Chains A and B, each alone.
Chain A
Amino acid sequence: MFDLSGTVSKVVFGLTLALIGLFLFFPLYWLVISSVKSNAELYSIVPTPFPTHPTMTHFVTALTTGKLPMYLFNSLIASGSSAALNTLLALYAGYSFAKYRFAGRQPAMLFMLSAQMFPFGLLLISIYPLMSEAGLLDTRPGLILSYIVFALPVSTYMLYSYFSQVPDELIEAARADGASDLRIFHTIVIPISIPPIVTVFLYSFMWSWNDLLYSMTLIVSDHKRTIGPGLLLTYLNEVNSDWGGAMAASLLASAPIVAAFLFLQRYFIQGVTAGAVK
């Protein structure tokens, strides 16, 4: 793709790469080192590039004294449930779009994908009165349902693309073997689709986990608050600016997503359908 044989081009390439890397990772680096600095070091006039006396105090404080564990738990419930619901819906929708021919299939799919074009904030304006009408404001089910708007269109499309590649002959063989449509889906198609299903689950989980706006708007009781607004309201307000605590709590909050993606990466590679046809 690129000719990197010359010295100049090598240097330019390396510098560009380093610049992009710096831009991407410096905030992350600052987050990590700030979380292990003592308060004295954090608030010194001259910033230190390396923590002089690394300490875990902020982590201990965040986990033991604040409401962080509760926020994390709330997020886990909300994100986990909405990801599960989202994946379930996307599974059936994606499969029917991929393998059944019905009137209005194309328009229905376009309509669904078009939902992704609206800013989430805009959708919230219409979701709020809906939730209010349904009595779901400040409830976990309300939040879980509203989270579906983040990921369902893309999830459905991802699974649709995958299911489209499942060979028809495999489905026909099962049909000739006497399996019903639902049975084929449950015993043949889903078991060979685990990697994309996991991907979709983690994708929707991530969206919900990272949410600030919806949770902030739809949830008012502190004991139902998720991690996003929880972090914001605890660490950054008029009376308090505990940067060390905020950094440590942020790290703890992003840990599940990072772990999930490490897991996902390993999962992607294997081709589960190998040996089905040809």
Chain B
Amino acid sequence: MAKLELHQVRKSFGNVDVLKGIDLAVDDGEFAAFVGPSGCGKSTLLRLICGLDEISSGQMIIDGQVVNDVPPAKRGIAMVFQSYALYPHMTVSDNMGYALRLAGTPREEIRRRVEAAARVLRIAEYVDRKPRQLSGGQRQRVAIGRAIVREPKIFLFDEPLSNLDAALRVEMRIEIARMKERLGTTMIYVTHDQIEAMTLADKIVVLNAGKVEQIGSPLDLYNTPANRFVAGFIGSPRMNFLIVQGHRLDGGRVRVPGGSVSLNTSPPEAAHEIGVRPEHLELCAPGTSNALDGRVAMTEHLGSDTYAYVALDGTDEMIVVRLDGERPISQGERVGVLVNPDAVHVFSTDGRTLVSAKPMARNAA
């Protein structure tokens, strides 16, 4: 059981600053997910926590103890690598028991722990096989098993599911969720897949260009993003952004491409852009008052949902509207887009959130 704290952790490679002062606390038993675009530093941060790379400055504390200079094996952590990194010449059970053998654990104890982990992960029948004789999913289980047998204080996962096919990924995601329930260990999970982050994590850390953009629960980030970056990163399809072209037409309205949008508050002076999620938009007849006018440029039918890409009048930009899956809609159709005033986020020029949508804003429809 362990609490992890980072204070102003920085990492530079040569004169490139990869991490620019990270402050973060992950509580005992908490599942934290690091998300962000490629190159944001999320994997680097995980490697620092693991001890594979040294931090350039700052403090890393596990359970009240500064571990800046503690080697990986002494930190009480176990890491599951993206590529699994199984030892190809060893059997599954030797792979899983390697760390314990190095630590001088009695043979009987190793056998017991490996067997227990193999049973839980449903790979008990493969323990005498070599990694190359296993499927991708089985290899992933072995990699997780190798971490479990060490009974670490903190689990680290580096995009563990990215090499699996879609169906297996869902299966393993559920597996990891169950593991989190069962073990109750602190876990840190790096992913670029926001669905994994949203479904697994108690706490999501959004990173961008080596800095923390926001830390919060999945729904916090979805409902009240701290800035335009988080607003655009969390949610799928991503939030629609519209540049504000004129202020305070009358009271709580702003002019944007295709028409004007009502807000539930008077728009701040610095309002530069508004953001609305596709699920908070509704189609209506063209020319409806308070609606944006445009033309359906493209549609995507997913069965449960339909996404309509609407090109707003007087602009090249398209906004995405999420519709019921059964809703008939055809390309080229002229439509109006109704914006739920409670669901509008307002951002400043530098991307800060000026007005957040009301939590759990729901489509009027």
**Chain A residues at the B interface, C-beta cutoff of 8 Å:** 167, 169-170, 172-179, 183, 188, 191-192, 272-278
Q: A275-B134, A277-B83 are in contact. Are A177 and B139 (CB under 8 A)?
A: no
Q: Chain A residues near B85 (CB, 8 Å)?
A: 167, 169-170, 172-173, 276-277
Q: How far is the CA of A179 from the CA of B132 in the complex (A)?
A: 23
5 A-B pairs whose Cβ atoms sit less than 8 Å apart in the complex? A172-B52, A174-B98, A177-B150, A178-B73, A191-B89
Contact residues in A for B163 (Cβ distance below 8 Å): 278
8 A Cβ contacts from B25-68 to A: 50-52
Given contacts A169-B81, A172-B52, A276-B87, 20 further A-B contacts (CB under 8 A): A167-B85, A173-B79, A173-B81, A173-B87, A173-B146, A174-B87, A176-B73, A176-B99, A178-B71, A178-B72, A178-B74, A178-B102, A179-B98, A192-B89, A274-B132, A275-B88, A275-B131, A275-B139, A277-B85, A278-B83
From B84, B98, B133, contact of A177 by CB (8 A): B98
B83 adjacent to A272 (CB under 8 Å): no
Interface extent on B, as a size class? 20 to 34
Asked if A276 meets B81 with Cβ closer than 8 Å, knowing A170-B87, A177-B102, A178-B102, the reply is no
Q: Return the contact of A178 from the options B103, B133, B136 (Cβ within 8 A).
A: B103
B292 within 8 A of A: no
B76-121 interface (Cβ within 8 A of A): 77-79, 81-89, 98-99, 102-103
Q: A169-B81, A172-B52, A176-B78 are in contact. Are A276 and B102 (CB under 8 A)?
A: no
- Is residue B130 within 8 Å, beta carbon to beta carbon, of the partner chain? yes
A277 to B82, CA, bound (A): 9
Q: How would residues 161 to 183 of chain B score, 1 for a CB under 8 Å from any chain A CB and 0 otherwise?
A: 00100000000000000000000
Bound Cα distance A173, B82 (Å): 11
- B77-A176 in contact (CB<8A): yes
User: Which residues does chain B contribute within 8 Å of A167, judged by CB atoms?
Assistant: 83, 85
Task: Tell me which residues across on chain B come within 8 A of A177, comparing CB atoms.
Answer: 73, 98-99, 102, 146, 150
In the complex, what's the smallest C-beta–C-beta distance from A195 to chain B, in angstroms? 12
Indicate with 1 or 0, residue by residue over B125-137, a CB within 8 angstroms of chain A CB atoms.
0000011111010
Shortest C-beta distance, A173 to chain B (Å), equals 4
Is B52 touching A175 in the complex (CB atoms < 8 A)?
yes
Q: Which residues of B contact A276 (CB under 8 A)?
A: 83-88, 131
State whether A176 and B130 are in contact (beta carbons under 8 Å apart), knowing that A169-B83, A276-B87 are contacts in the complex: no
CB proximity of A102 to chain B, nearest CB, Å = 15
Complex CA distance for A188 and B85, rounded to whole angstroms: 11
Bound Cα distance from A172 to B87, whole angstroms = 11
Query: Is there an interface contact between A178 and B139, defined as CB atoms closer than 8 Å?
Result: no
Q: Which residues of A contact B131 (CB under 8 A)?
A: 275-276
Q: Return the contact of A272 from the options B73, B88, B99 (Cβ within 8 A).
A: B88
Partner of B51, one of A176, A179, A273, A277: A176
Q: A272 contacts which chain B residues (CB < 8 A)?
A: 88-89
Most buried by B among A176, A272, A273: A176
Residues of B within 8 A of A191 (CB): 89
| CB of A99 to closest CB in B, whole Å | 13
The reply to whether A178 and B99 form a contact with Cβ atoms under 8 Å apart is: yes
B87-A169 in contact (CB<8A): no
- The answer on a CB contact under 8 Å between A175 and B133 is no
Once bound together, how far apart are the Cα atoms of A169 and B82, in whole Å?
9
List of A residues within 8 angstroms of B99 by Cβ: 176-178
B236 to chain A, nearest CB (A): 26
B227-248 CB contact bits vs A (8 Å, 1 = yes)? Answer: 0000000000000000000000
Specify which chain B residues have a CB less than 8 angstroms from the CB of A172 in the assembled complex.
52, 79, 81, 85
**A193 CB to nearest chain B CB (Å):** 10
Residue of chain A at shortest CB distance from B156? A176
For the complex, give the distance between the alpha carbons of A273 and B87 in Å. Answer: 9
B103 closest partner in A (C-beta): A178
- Residues in B whose Cβ lies below 8 Å from that of A275: 86, 88, 130-134, 139
Question: What residues of chain B lie closer than 8 Å to A179, measured between beta carbons?
Answer: 73, 98, 102
Bound form: Cα–Cα A276–B131 in Å: 7
Residues 299-336 of B, flagged 1 when their CB comes within 8 A of A and 0 if not, give 00000000000000000000000000000000000000
| C-alpha gap A175/B130 in the complex (Å) | 21
Q: Name the residue on B nearest A175 (C-beta).
A: B72
Which chain B residue has the least Cβ–Cβ distance from A180?
B102
Given contact pairs A273-B88, A276-B85, A176 touches B134 in the complex (Cβ within 8 A): no
- Shortest C-beta distance, A168 to chain B (Å), equals 9
Residues of B near A274 (CB, < 8 A) are 88, 132
For the complex formed, measure the closest distance between the CB of B157 and the CB atoms of chain A, giving whole angstroms: 13
> In the complex, what's the smallest C-beta–C-beta distance from A103 to chain B, in angstroms?
14
B78 — nearest CB in chain A belongs to which residue?
A: A176
Residues of A within 8 A of B134 (CB): 275
A183 to B71, CA, bound (A): 15
How far, in angstroms, from A176 to B52 measured CA to CA in the complex? 7
Chain A residues whose CB sits within 8 angstroms of the CB of B89 once the complex forms = 188, 191-192, 272
Cross-chain contact B79 with A176 (CB below 8 angstroms): yes
- Chain A residue at minimum C-beta to C-beta distance from B72: A176
> In the complex, what distance in Å separates the CA atom of A210 from the CA atom of B260?
88
Q: In the complex the two chains form, what is the Cα distance from A274 to B75 in whole Å? A: 31
Cα of A179 to Cα of B85 in the assembled complex, Å: 14
Tell me the nearest residue of chain B to A191, going by C-beta.
B89
User: How far is A147 from B186 in the complex, measured between Cα atoms in Å?
Assistant: 57
Q: What's the nearest-Cβ distance from chain B to residue A257, in Å?
A: 29
Cα A177 to Cα B50 with chains together (Å): 11
| Contact partners of B86 in chain A: CB under 8 A | 173, 275-277
Top-5 shortest CB links A-B: A275-B132, A178-B73, A275-B131, A277-B83, A177-B99
For residue B150, which residues in chain A have a CB less than 8 angstroms away from its CB? Answer: 177
CB distance from B75 to the nearest CB of A (A): 9
